[in-house]
Amino acid sequence: GAGVSQSPRYKVAKRGQDVALRCDPISGHVSLFWYQQALGQGPEFLTYFQNEAQLDKSGLPSDRFFAERPEGSVSTLKIQRTQQEDSAVYLCASSLVASGTEAFFGQGTRLTVV
Amino acid sequence: GNSVTQMEGPVTLSEEAFLTINCTYTATGYPSLFWYVQYPGEGLQLLLKATKADDKGSNKGFEATYRKETTSFHLEKGSVQVSDSAVYFCALTGGGADGLTFGKGTHLIIQP
């Protein structure tokens, strides 16, 4: 596609609900990253995929967070039993090869847990 | 671990003023350095980058030089425009298969 696409753009969840956030990277991009951006802060790294392999998940804040990219293209970030502190913008980025090259970001999904 | 520190905002300037946004970093090895910009209602966009010491990245009149001796990557523009109003993020990556480490962002407001 023309750019990184994320859906939904906005999500309101009741505390305790499970949510799934989708990322469609640029076609052919090998690397895919998820970031969490709290209000007034910079994005913080969550996890990294190279094709379908999740090579780094060190930034996932708890075992309620799970990400997958089963066919090496579309990725889903799932948050189980959402808590208020999960409220943030979740950003997806893709790049042609590994880091050090330009990463293209989607517009993000704004998650509000009430 | 890696970290990025950038000046707090908001920074408010008049049109045609000179801009500097300071950025310093801590990293092991030889990181690549980036400035990203987020215009209102839009996603993060790469503004410029530098991949080794003394490299200068430039784009849209903005410049930043990778200074290893001072671990800095300050963003400069000689004459800002109202359309430059945005949030600017300094970031680094350590190379290989790791993600970006971002600063907290600097909100720039340019008044006509």
The average pLDDT across B73-86 equals: 97
Least confident of A86-100, B34-48, B71-85: A86-100
* pLDDT averaged over 10-residue windows placed end to end, chain A, 114 residues: 90 98 95 94 94 94 97 97 97 81 90 98
- Distance from the A67 Cα atom to the nearest Cα atom in chain B, whole angstroms: 15
Q: How many residues does chain B have?
A: 112
The DSSP bridge partners found for residue A41 are none
What's the whole-number mean pLDDT along residues B39-67?
94
Supply the DSSP symbol for A41: S
Residue B4 near residue B25 (C-beta atoms within 8 A): yes
The answer to whether residue B3 scores a pLDDT higher than 90 is: yes
Quick: pLDDT tens for B4-19.
Answer: 999 888 999 999 999 9
Kindly report the three-state secondary structure assignment for every residue of B45-92. Answer: EEEEEECCCCCEEEECCEEEECECCCCECCEEECCCCHHHCEEEEEEE
Are the C-beta atoms of B76 and B13 separated by less than 8 Å? Answer: no
CA-based nearest distance B85→chain A, Å: 16
Q: Which residues of A touch B (CB under 8 A)?
A: 4, 31, 33, 35, 40-45, 48, 50, 55-56, 59, 91, 93, 98-100, 102-108
- Asked whether the bond before B10 is cis by omega within 30 degrees of 0, the reply is yes
Residue to substitute from A99, A107, A109, A110, interface B, most B β-carbons within 10 A: A99
CA of B105 vs chain A CAs: smallest distance (Å): 6
